[in-house]
């Protein structure tokens, strides 16, 4: 992907350009409000850039499509459908017939560890389970890229760590390309192959960090701590700039 | 000693009211054509039920409500969805509707009788007018209240506008729509009674007027109680349906 974008009345992104490789796990990190969610939404097709373009496999992207599945912080499950009903939704939309739908959906229910909960409604699930259902829903349509917008932001710390393991498990099984937006540097270092650090608004790419650590990663290991410190330092500078900006207005 | 529960108090309060009422009657404080005794009301109830007259009036009124209400629902729900969904439809429909809406249904009675005569048709029309707007407004609110993130999430599954409308907007609006139906039924029922009091020769509203004319006030009260009971029953029935449909709610 490559592009530089602006937005409506607020310039959210100034000059953002980077490439994501097939099967990579990339995290987008940056100060609050820097535009990382906007960037993700542009890739999803939910917003249009005023300048610049995004390419997927050499094709210009346009409207939202199941090729670029998205998982939201608020889960966004349809509350009137069961877990399996939600997972089948994308397949229904694509016109897949009932039996095939059921099979694919059941496979994904198991993939995310929700076996036994197929017929529960979202209100009967915990936050972590809801997000797993949402992930299964996007994956069922076999996307080329999975976009995740602070998916664990609403979860408590323990569930969050558990879901990080879960996502890594799913990623290694499905080999999907994942672009993951997060506030948490710790989370980014734990999950990503590469971390794209954005500047304060209007955002540009400040730096791209390679995280070459083997998985499963150990948060206490000195290499982990080093990378985390590097990213955090750079991020703190950006956050400070954001605050100066705000105060001087 | 067994504790007195709130439920006991509630039952007691009704019994007490009836007893006090009967005592006032015995004391002869009011003429019986103004304040009938509870016993008279009960005996009128029995008579009217046995003769089938009460049942016939009830059925007549219910039939009118049923037709008026279904026509109102069948027109208001689709229109409401269209208005909530499309700015074009909203701009075209809203001005006219906003002019008509504030007119109380009762004010329609004279025109209803001019247009449709007496009896069944004007009554159905009045119920339609009464039920239509609550249903419409609640439907529009339901559509507009659809969660944006939900719509976006389904768009990323490749949904077209039609998919969104059918699979997200409509199910999401059902709680509001049903609430609108419940309110609509109530308003429609009130309109019916007013309509029958004005220009009908059957039905509960008519019954109330007729018996008051011949000063058989105990039968008037039977009619009033029947009106109240049925209004309550309809509301309750829809609330039951609502609860079943909305099992998925928090």
Residue B152 forms part of a structural domain? yes
Do B17 and B122 belong together in one domain?
no
Q: How far apart are the CA of A89 and the nearest CA of chain B, in angstroms?
A: 8
Whole-number average pLDDT of chain B? 91
Q: Do both B86 and B13 map to the same domain?
A: no
Give the pairing of strands A25-29 and A177-181. parallel
Residue A90: which residues within 8 A CB-CB, separation 6 or more? A66, A69, A137, A138, A140, A141, B157, B158
Is the domain of B154 the same as that of B78? yes
Asked if A94 and B158 come within 8 Å (Cβ–Cβ), the reply is yes
Q: How far apart are CA A71 and CA A85, in angstroms?
A: 17
A46 in reach of chain B (CB within 8 A) = yes
Statement to judge: residues B112 and B197 lie in one domain? yes
Contacts of A89 in chain B (CB under 8 A): 154, 157, 167
The average pLDDT across B231-248 equals 88
Contact B158 A90 (CB under 8 A): yes
Per the CB < 8 A criterion, the answer to whether A43 and A2 are in contact is no
**Domain co-membership, B148 together with B228:** yes
CA distance B63 to B121: 11
Confidence of residue B194 (pLDDT cuts 50, 70, 90): confident
How confident is the model at residue B1, as a pLDDT?
54
The DSSP annotation for B56-109 comes to: HHHHHHHHHHHHHHHHHHHHHHHHHHHHHH-HHHHHHHHHHHHHHTTS-GGGGH
Contact between chains at A121 and B158 (C-beta distance less than 8 A):
no
B18 and B122 share a domain? no
Q: What is the mean pLDDT of residues B94-116?
A: 92
The lowest-confidence range among A86-95, B53-62, B145-154, B241-250 is B241-250
Cα–Cα distance measured from residue B96 to residue B74, given in angstroms and rounded to the nearest whole number: 19
Task: Write down all domains in chain A, each with its CATH number in brackets.
Answer: 70-248 (3.40.50.300)
* Together in a domain, B6 and B42: no
Q: Are residues B26 and B80 in the same domain?
A: no
Is B17 inside any structural domain?
yes
If asked whether residues B22 and B86 sit together in one domain, one would say no
Whether residue B55 lies inside any domain: the answer is: yes
The first and second tokens of residue A152, run together, are 């664990």
Contacts of B130 (CB under 8 A, 6+ apart): B68, B72, B105, B184, B187, B188, B190, B191, B192
Would you call A138 an interface residue with chain B, using a CB distance cutoff of 8 Å? yes
Domain count, chain B: 2
B15, B55: one domain: no
Q: Which domain holds residue B86?
A: 36-245
Give me the pLDDT at residue B5, please.
Answer: 87
Q: Which pLDDT belongs to residue A1?
A: 47
Shared domain check, B163 and B142 = yes
pLDDT for the residue numbered A42: 93
Separation between Cα atoms, residue A78 and residue B94, nearest integer Å: 30
Per-position DSSP letters for A170-195, written without gaps between them: HHHHH--EEEEE-S-HHHHHHH-SEE
- DSSP of B106-136: GGGHHHHHHHH-SSHHHHHHHHHHHHHHHHH
How far apart CA B221 and CA B44 sit, in angstroms, is: 9
Domain of B223, CATH number, reads: 1.10.3720.10
Q: Which residue has the tokens 């490439």?
A: A19
A78–B154 CB contact, under 8 Å: yes
Q: A211: closest CA among A180, A173, A246, A174?
A: A180
Are A124 and A81 spatial neighbours (Cβ–Cβ below 8 Å)? no
Residues above pLDDT 70, as percent of chain B: 99
User: What's the rounded Cα separation, in Å, for the pair B154 and B8?
Assistant: 52
Q: What is the pLDDT of residue B2?
A: 65
B250, part of any domain? no
Count other C-beta atoms under 10 Å from residue B20's C-beta. 11
How is residue A133 annotated by DSSP?
H
Q: Do the strands A13-15 and A25-29 form a parallel or antiparallel pair, or are they unpaired? A: unpaired
Mean pLDDT, consecutive 10-residue stretches, chain A (249 aa), reads 54 84 94 88 91 88 93 95 95 94 95 94 94 96 95 94 95 94 95 94 89 92 95 92 73
Coil/strand/helix, residue B45: helix
pLDDT at B32: 85
Under DSSP, is residue A226 helix (H, G, I), strand (E, B) or coil?
Answer: helix
- Whole-number pLDDT of residue B250: 64
Q: Is A164 exposed, middle or buried (0-12, 13-18, 19+ CB in 10 A)?
A: buried
Question: Measuring CA to CA, how many Å separate A94 from each of A43, A97, B72, B154, B159?
Answer: 21, 9, 35, 12, 8
Residue A5 has what pLDDT?
A: 56
- Interface touch B154/A80, C-beta < 8 Å: no
Cβ–Cβ under 8 Å, residues A164 and A148 = no
- How much of chain B is in helix, strand and coil states, percent to nearest 5? 80, 0, 20
CA atoms within 13 A on the CB side of A247: 6
> How many angstroms separate the CA atoms of B146 and B165, rounded?
10
Q: From the list B157, B168, B171, which residue is nearest A141 (CB)?
A: B157
Asked if B90 has any chain A CB less than 8 Å from its own CB, the reply is no
* Mean pLDDT value of segment B174-197: 90
Q: Report the pLDDT averaged over residues B144-171.
A: 95
Q: What is the pLDDT of residues B200-213, one digit of tens each?
A: 889 998 999 899 99
For residue A158, give both structure tokens: 């323990």
> Is-contact A231 A188, C-beta < 8 A?
yes
Q: Is the pLDDT of residue B242 over 90?
A: no
- Return the residue in B148, B152, B154, B157 with the most chain A beta carbons within 10 A, the one to mutate for interface testing: B157
The pLDDT tens digits of the residues spanning B25-43 come to 888 888 888 889 998 999 9
Token reading at A193:
């192959």
What is the structure's pLDDT at A171? Answer: 95
Which of A:52-71 have CB within 8 Å of B?
63-66, 68-70
Chain A residues touching B170 at Cβ < 8 A: none
Most B CBs within 10 A among A76, A119, A120, hence the mutation to make, goes to A76
Q: What pLDDT shows up at residue A6?
A: 54
Residue-level pLDDT at B197: 78
Is the CB of residue A123 less than 8 Å away from at least one CB of chain B? yes
**Do B75 and B114 belong together in one domain?**
yes
* The pair of three-digit structure tokens given for residue B168, joined into one six-digit string: 């997200």
């Amino acid at each position: 992907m490559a592009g530089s974008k602006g937005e409506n009345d607020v310039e959210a992104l100034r000059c953002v350009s980077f490439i994501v490789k097939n099967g990579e796990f990339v995290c987008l990190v940056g100060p609050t409000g820097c535009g990382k969610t906007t960037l993700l939404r542009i890739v999803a097709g939910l917003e249009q850039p005023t300048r610049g373009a995004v390419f997927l496999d050499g094709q210009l992207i346009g409207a939202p499509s199941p090729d670029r599945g998205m998982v939201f912080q608020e889960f966004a499950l349809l509350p009137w459908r069961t877990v399996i009903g939600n997972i089948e939704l994308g397949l229904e939309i694509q016109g897949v017939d009932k039996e095939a739908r059921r099979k694919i959906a059941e496979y994904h229910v198991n993939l995310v560890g929700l076996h036994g909960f197929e017929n529960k409604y979202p209100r009967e699930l915990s936050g972590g389970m809801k997000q797993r259902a949402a992930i299964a829903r996007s994956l069922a349509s076999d996307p080329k890229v999975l976009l995740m917008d602070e998916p664990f932001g609403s979860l408590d710390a323990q569930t969050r760590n558990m879901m990080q393991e879960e996502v890594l498990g799913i990623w290694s099984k499905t080999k999907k390309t994942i672009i993951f937006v997060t506030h948490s540097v710790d989370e980014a270092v734990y999950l990503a192959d590469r971390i794209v650090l954005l500047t304060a608004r209007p955002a540009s790419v400040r730096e791209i960090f390679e995280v070459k650590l083997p998985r499963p990663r150990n948060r206490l290991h000195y290499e982990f701590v080093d990378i985390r410190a590097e990213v955090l330092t750079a991020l703190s500078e950006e956050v400070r700039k954001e605050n100066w900006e705000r105060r001087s207005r | 000693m067994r504790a007195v529960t709130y439920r006991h108090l509630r039952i007691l309060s009704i019994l007490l009211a009836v007893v006090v009422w009967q005592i006032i009657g015995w004391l002869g404080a009011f003429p019986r054509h103004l304040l009938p005794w509870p016993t008279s009301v009960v005996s009128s109830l029995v008579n009217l039920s046995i003769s089938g007259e009460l049942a016939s009036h009830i059925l007549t009124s219910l039939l009118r409500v049923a037709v008026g209400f279904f026509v109102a629902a069948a027109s208001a729900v689709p229109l409401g969805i269209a208005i909530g969904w499309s700015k074009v439809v909203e701009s075209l429909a809203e001005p006219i509707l906003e002019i008509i809406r504030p007119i109380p249904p009762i004010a329609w009675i004279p025109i209803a009788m001019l247009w449709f005569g007496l009896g069944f048709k004007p009554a159905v029309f009045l119920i339609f007018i009464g039920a239509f707007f609550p249903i419409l407004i609640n439907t529009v609110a339901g559509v507009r209240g659809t969660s944006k993130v939900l719509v976006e999430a389904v768009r990323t599954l490749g949904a077209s506008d039609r998919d969104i409308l059918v699979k997200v907007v409509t199910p999401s609006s059902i709680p509001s729509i049903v609430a609108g139906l419940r309110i609509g039924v109530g308003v429609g029922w009130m309109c019916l009674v007013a309509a029958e009091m004005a220009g009908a020769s059957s039905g509960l509203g008519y019954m109330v007027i007729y018996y008051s004319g011949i000063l058989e006030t105990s039968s008037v009260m039977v009619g009033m109680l029947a009106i109240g009971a049925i209004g309550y029953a309809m509301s309750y029935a829809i609330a039951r349906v609502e609860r079943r449909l909305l099992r998925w709610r928090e």
